[in-house]
């Protein structure tokens, strides 16, 4: 069946979750494009669609928020059925479905089956029989755990798609000049030392306490750094509170930058200090050093192939996932403390900055 893929010139890639997830799939998408010379269309969520425009391997984007993935928008049954018809009309030769090991791939598999895409590849725990033409039994996390990039590369390797370049890819837009103007208006002097801090998350369980961000920030300011606290418009309150708590030389710029400008900011930043969320993977794509305050959730999503340090902290019991697969992983993870010592964070930031210099 492997030889069929070399005739697939119109491939649908399904990655239905977040920005960071799609970025981590880019090496595997590149492998498909390089190996089969295919046009790549990506079906993704509204949360990831913006970044998809900056991924050079993607030719076309279809945006849809499915009901089995947590997104900002609700979808309805009739819209789902219409989507299947839309996909069917595109006459895709094949589809590849990328998932996290804790996700159930079957709804997405059924979507591609209803869309009558003739060749369908995905991981799945149970035998999907006719729903997939190419099934890779999912052994994670019970046999091993791989980084998400490796997981996705192994999926496409099973049908003969490979690449020598396994870095996360992104095209940095031409928006640094406009970003600089915004920073200048907010009294940020880029001629002086500066760092980016990103405290916001999409899930409460990955949030690091604001009071601890303030402690870390005060120490970094003592070393002469301006701190740029980034986030979405909905995170203004959080970044404003943290900036106010830090005091002088801490600037809340949440909601002020477009995605293009934010990518440029990460690309230019000496270092990013962040929780485990999408900007970490932008930093990996731009080769920006990153220190991650990493909630013990899914261990697959650490920074990929960029100078980095991961500092783990424990998720409060009341906020832990009810997903049985993640609960299994959490039971076997080495216990981390609820908070990370401020001195450890500051020392790791200093170490990575000296590495870049």
Q: Residue 207 has what pLDDT?
A: 86
CB atoms inside a 10 Å sphere around CB 263: 25
Task: Give the angle 246-249-253 at the CA atoms, nearest 5°.
Answer: 85
Q: Domain 176-356 class? A: alpha beta
d(CA 357, CA 68): 45
Angle in degrees, 0-180, between the axes of helices 148-157 and 26-36, rounded to the nearest 10: 20
Quote the CA–CA distance of 104 and 123 in Å, as a whole number: 10
Q: Tell me: pLDDT of 173 over 80.
A: yes
Whether cis (ω within 30° of 0) applies to the bond prior to 111 is no
Residues of CATH 3.40.50.2000 domain(s) within the chain?
2-157, 176-356
Query: Which tens digits make up the pLDDT trace of 80-121?
Result: 899 999 999 999 999 999 999 999 999 999 999 999 999 999
Contacts of 26 (CB under 8 A, 6+ apart): 55, 57, 168, 169, 170, 285
Alpha carbons 12 and 29: distance in angstroms, whole number: 10
Question: What is the spatial distance between Cα 108 and Cα 121, in angstroms, rounded to a whole number?
Answer: 11
Query: Is pLDDT above 90 for 153?
Result: yes
The pLDDT value recorded for residue 355 is 62
Q: Averaged over 147-172, what is the pLDDT?
A: 98
Helical axes 210-222 vs 236-246, angle rounded to 10°: 50
pLDDT > 70: percent of the chain: 98
Name 100's Cβ contacts closer than 8 Å, sequence gap at least 6. 17, 21, 148, 298, 300
Q: What is the mean pLDDT of residues 164-171?
A: 98
| Per-chain mean pLDDT for the chain | 94
CA separation, residue 198 to residues 48, 159, 273, 290, 298 (Å)? 18, 38, 6, 11, 19
Q: Output the pLDDT for position 357.
A: 44
Q: What is the pLDDT of residues 14-48, one digit of tens each?
A: 999 999 999 999 999 999 999 999 999 999 999 99
Tell me the CATH number of domain 2-157, given options 3.40.630.30, 3.10.105.10, 3.30.930.10, 3.40.50.2000: 3.40.50.2000
- Residues 92 and 307: their CA atoms lie apart, in Å, by 39
Inform me whether the pLDDT recorded for 176 exceeds 90: yes
First to last CA, the chain: 50
Claim: this prediction has a pTM higher than 0.85:
yes
Condensed to tens digits (0 to 9), the pLDDT of residues 296-311 reads 888 999 999 999 999 9
Residue 196 has pLDDT above 50, yes or no: yes
Bridge partner residues of 134 (DSSP): 121
Please say if the pLDDT value at position 336 is more than 50: yes
């Amino acid at each position: 069946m492997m030889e069929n893929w070399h005739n697939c010139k119109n491939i649908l890639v399904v990655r239905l979750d977040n920005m960071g997830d799609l970025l981590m799939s880019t090496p595997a998408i590149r492998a498909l494009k390089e190996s089969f010379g295919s046009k790549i269309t990506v079906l993704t969520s509204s949360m990831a669609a913006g970044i998809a425009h900056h991924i050079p391997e993607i030719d076309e984007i279809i945006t849809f928020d499915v009901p089995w993935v947590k997104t900002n928008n609700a979808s309805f049954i009739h819209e789902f059925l219409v989507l299947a018809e839309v996909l069917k009309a595109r006459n895709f030769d094949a589809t590849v479905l990328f998932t996290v090991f804790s996700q159930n791939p079957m709804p997405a598999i059924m979507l591609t089956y209803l869309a009558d895409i003739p060749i369908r590849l995905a991981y799945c725990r149970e035998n999907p029989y006719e729903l997939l033409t190419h099934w890779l039994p999912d052994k994670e996390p019970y046999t091993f755990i791989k980084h998400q990039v490796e997981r996705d590369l192994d999926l496409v390797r099973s049908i003969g798609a490979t690449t020598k370049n396994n870095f996360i890819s992104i095209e940095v837009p031409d928006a640094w000049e406009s970003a600089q103007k915004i920073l200048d208006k907010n009294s940020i002097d880029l001629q002086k030392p500066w760092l980016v801090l990103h405290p916001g998350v999409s899930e409460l369980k990955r949030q690091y306490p604001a009071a601890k961000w303030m402690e870390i920030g005060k120490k970094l300011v003592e070393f002469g750094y301006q701190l740029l606290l980034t986030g979405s418009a909905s995170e203004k309150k959080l970044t404003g509170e943290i900036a106010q708590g830090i005091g002088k030389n801490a600037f809340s710029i949440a909601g002020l930058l477009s995605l293009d400008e934010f990518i440029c900011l990460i690309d230019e930043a000496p270092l990013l200090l962040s929780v485990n969320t999408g900007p970490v993977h932008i930093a990996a794509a731009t080769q920006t050093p990153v220190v991650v305050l990493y909630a013990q959730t899914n261990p697959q999503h650490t920074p990929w192939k960029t100078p980095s340090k991961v500092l783990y902290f424990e998720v409060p019991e009341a906020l832990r996932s009810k997903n049985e697969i993640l609960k299994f992983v959490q039971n076997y993870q080495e216990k981390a403390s609820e908070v990370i010592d401020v001195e450890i964070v500051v020392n790791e930031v200093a170490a990575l900055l000296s590495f870049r210099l």
